[in-house]
Structure 1
Amino acid sequence: MNLAFWKKNKDSQPKKKKSKAREWVDAAVFAIIAATLIRTFIFEAYTIPTPSMEKTLLVNDFLFVSKISYGPRIPMTPLAVPFVHHTMPFTKSTKAYSEAVKWKYRRLPGFSDIKRYDVVVFNFPEGDTVAIDSPDPSYYNMVRANGWQTVQNSFQIVTRPVDKRENYIKRCMAQAGDTIKIIHGAVYINGQAAPVPAGSQHKYVVETTGDQLNSSRLEELGISTSAPDFYQIDSNKFLYNLTPANVLALKQFPIVKNVTVYEESNYTDFNYDNIFPHDSIRFKWTDENFGPLYIPKKGATVKLDESNIALYDRVIRVYEGNKLEKREGKFYINGQLADTYTFKMNYYWMMGDNRNNSLDSRFWGFVPEDHVVGKAWLIWMSYGDGGGIRWNRLFRNIK
């Protein structure tokens, strides 16, 4: 057969038209791939579920989180159901991913490094092990309080890889190489007082002449007069959750004698083991009086001994994958005697702006760089408890 004639005859044949069903399938596949690439490498939408960042961020604020600001993280668990984080919808523990393929931590170049006071989304560092249906998000806190056997017998336990752990949002108060210290609620970085975000809140004891403050006036100032943000301590002392502007306003009230930072350890039988590094023998730190603590930096070396091993134990064992042992008072890393350790990653110290209502680094420690998801960028939607849109918050940059 003449080849040219066959080709001409073939090309002249009409192409078979795709069915409507096939067109819909192709469009759906394209949309899923495009959306997945955008969510992975450019930006992703998140919702604020808790008040830990109030009043900087409010419950039911809807955010765009930039993946390109710090550089997109390559998925470490690439085999996953699209648009689902770690658990299949309508189930409690069915995994939405497979660990048959695991990739090492890698990140593409970004526009900047993480800077102090950025608002950052990251995977919960203690979220590698989870007790399903537990009211406490930290499995390790439950174990410290109740014992390993009790927790194992009481809950279904699951483990999760880094990129499938719960997403948290906090403010980066200290970056790799910094030294952080908290004195009576005030944060100091490298010996300098850290700026206080305008929307941050802290609990204060407001002492009056004996009269209670006018609730209507407090509401005008945006001060809550209901629990858990309000509590009457005694006849002339009241506990309020206040922003810096609120503190200045209350100090002008004629009946207000004094406004001081609330420190739980002054009013309760404080459990020092709840605070990182969970060693109340050597570190009697509280959420309001903490440190000094060095934040690990990639390539930096620290001396290891009994005085500081609790601070860096989890970094060495869990985040950087070494075997750490103690024998006859000496430390061994991967079977080798070690009195120093050189960090393989950068770490960060994250805190919520709602200081007395935030589960943050003061309770579970450092955030490794491989846990960082992205930078909180823009509020694109927000609605209140009644379902009404908070128009004044739409398209607001996050600072």
Structure 2
Amino acid sequence: MTLQAILGNFALILFVLTVATGIVWVLDIFYLAPQRRRRATLALADYDARQAKLRSEGIKVDQGERSRLEAELVRQPTWIEYSGSFFPVIALVFFLRSFLYEPFKIPSSSMVPTLEIGDLILVNKFTYGIRLPIINKKIIELNNPERGDVMVFKYPKDMSLDYIKRVIGVPGDKIEYKNKRLSINGKAVSYEQLPDYLDEEHLSYSKHYRERFEGSEHRILNDERAPSYVQNPDPFPGRENCTYNLEGFSCTVPAGQYFVMGDNRDNSLDSRYWGFVPDQNIVGKAFFIWMNLGNPGRIGGFE
């Protein structure tokens, strides 16, 4: 793993911080703190002996000095104090992000109109099974991705990158996308035309449809200027399961793999180009927009 990948892997950074602060926290409880207490006991015994001698000689002593001395002797060094304070917080954040919910930011327009650039989303990390953090190995089977789910996964060509797309095909499905119309296992998907979609950033319109197939209803965009065929698909693993022509393509999804596409169909690099998503690459299911700094009205669930 490169240095850039490590620095970009927040989960790894959190893991290292959790382990480091946890070691200091445990070390202090079971070793360093008892050592400080033993040293303090010896020092206070010596102090008490000196004070008793002074009192026997009729010299008045400061009764509060002993408490101040004890507090100073048992006080945690600053580096231990900060580590102990940060450990529970870091450990809680690491647990939440690793096993429950993780925030992501939408960086591109490939999922417009469902998700827009700048949307901050939450991803359910346990819907598709419990996975060990960092290595992303599934240890407890729960549910499998279903057609229509919006899924976050590790990009097969660069595992340091997180991608988000919609699941179109599950293992065994035959996916056809011809003339910008989708069929799944020989059954044509239904489309309801909506008013054209205005891209306010580029001041351009796209064809806007409501796409419906088993278990899913969501909106998609088509750019009439873009060709129907897939331009320069990669030689990805399982490429022999796909055929491409001027009308589009067809693919049969291999076992343990998923076929994904962006809702902004003509502006999305997805399974049509770089192939299938292996189960071990799955991060979780996106389900909620918790903030968009440019448009707070987008907060909420999505299709």
TM range (shorter): 0.5 to 0.7
- Tell me if the contact between 1:70 and 1:113 (Cα under 8 Å) persists in the aligned partners: yes
Query: In 2 relative to 1, CA 382–241 (structure 1 residues): closer, same or farther, beyond 3 Å?
Result: same
Question: Which has the larger share of helix?
Answer: 2
Name the aligned partner's letter for residue 244 of structure 1.
Y
Query: In 2 relative to 1, CA 275–392 (structure 1 residues): closer, same or farther, beyond 3 Å?
Result: same
- Tell me if the contact between 2:147 and 2:167 (Cα under 8 Å) persists in the aligned partners: yes
Write out aligned runs for 1:1-399 (5 A). Answer: 16-18=74-76, 22-75=80-133, 77=135, 106-109=137-140, 111-127=142-158, 162=159, 165-194=160-189, 222-224=197-199, 227=202, 230=204, 240-244=205-209, 262=224, 264-265=226-227, 272-274=231-233, 283-285=243-245, 289-291=248-250, 293-297=251-255, 346-384=256-294, 390-394=295-299, 396-399=300-303
Q: CA deviation at 1:271?
A: 7.6
Instruction: Specify every segment of 5 or more residues in structure 2 that has no aligned partner in the other structure, as ranges.
Output: 1-40, 46-69, 211-221
In 2, Cα distance between equivalents of 1:397 and 1:223: 22
Q: CA deviation at 1:261?
A: 7.2
In 1, Cα distance between equivalents of 2:284 and 2:193: 22
Query: In 2 relative to 1, CA 189–58 (structure 1 residues): closer, same or farther, beyond 3 Å?
Result: same
Q: Which is greater in Rg?
A: 2
In 2, Cα distance between equivalents of 1:197 and 1:366: 28
In 1, Cα distance between equivalents of 2:77 and 2:157: 50
Q: CA deviation at 1:56?
A: 0.2
In 2, Cα distance between equivalents of 1:170 and 1:366: 12
Instruction: Specify every segment of 5 or more residues in structure 1 that has no aligned partner in the other structure, as ranges.
Output: 1-9, 78-104, 128-161, 200-217, 231-239, 246-259, 298-345, 385-389
Over residues 251-282 of structure 1, what are the superposed CA-to-partner deviations in whole Å (9 max), with x where a residue is unaligned? Answer: xxxxxxxxx9737447xxx7853366698xx9
SS of match in other structure, 1:37: helix
Query: In 2 relative to 1, CA 65–195 (structure 1 residues): closer, same or farther, beyond 3 Å?
Result: farther
- Tell me if the contact between 2:206 and 2:223 (Cα under 8 Å) persists in the aligned partners: no
Deviating beyond 4 angstroms after TM superposition, the runs of 4 or more aligned structure 1 residues are 195-199, 275-279
Q: TM-score, normalised by structure 2?
A: 0.63
In 2, Cα distance between equivalents of 1:226 and 1:106: 40
Name the aligned partner's letter for residue 100 of structure 2.
I
Q: CA deviation at 1:21?
A: 5.2
State the identity as a percent.
30
Query: In 2 relative to 1, CA 225–22 (structure 1 residues): closer, same or farther, beyond 3 Å?
Result: closer
Q: CA deviation at 1:32?
A: 1.8
SS of match in other structure, 2:198: coil
SS of match in other structure, 2:91: helix
Q: CA deviation at 1:111?
A: 4.5
Query: In 2 relative to 1, CA 393–170 (structure 1 residues): closer, same or farther, beyond 3 Å?
Result: same
SS of match in other structure, 1:51: coil
Q: CA deviation at 1:170?
A: 0.2
- Tell me if the contact between 2:131 and 2:139 (Cα under 8 Å) persists in the aligned partners: yes
Query: In 2 relative to 1, CA 20–196 (structure 1 residues): closer, same or farther, beyond 3 Å?
Result: farther
Q: CA deviation at 1:224?
A: 3.4
- Tell me if the contact between 1:272 and 1:285 (Cα under 8 Å) persists in the aligned partners: no
Q: Which residue of 2 aligns with 1:135?
A: none
Q: How many residues align?
A: 223
- Tell me if the contact between 2:155 and 2:162 (Cα under 8 Å) persists in the aligned partners: yes
Q: TM-score, normalised by structure 1?
A: 0.49
In 2, Cα distance between equivalents of 1:66 and 1:111: 13
Name the aligned partner's letter for residue 391 of structure 1.
P
Name the aligned partner's letter for residue 254 of structure 2.
P
Q: CA deviation at 1:294?
A: 1.1
Query: In 2 relative to 1, CA 69–184 (structure 1 residues): closer, same or farther, beyond 3 Å?
Result: same
In 2, Cα distance between equivalents of 1:383 and 1:359: 26
In 2, Cα distance between equivalents of 1:271 and 1:181: 12
Name the aligned partner's letter for residue 90 of structure 2.
I
In 2, Cα distance between equivalents of 1:391 and 1:223: 19
Query: In 2 relative to 1, CA 24–170 (structure 1 residues): closer, same or farther, beyond 3 Å?
Result: same
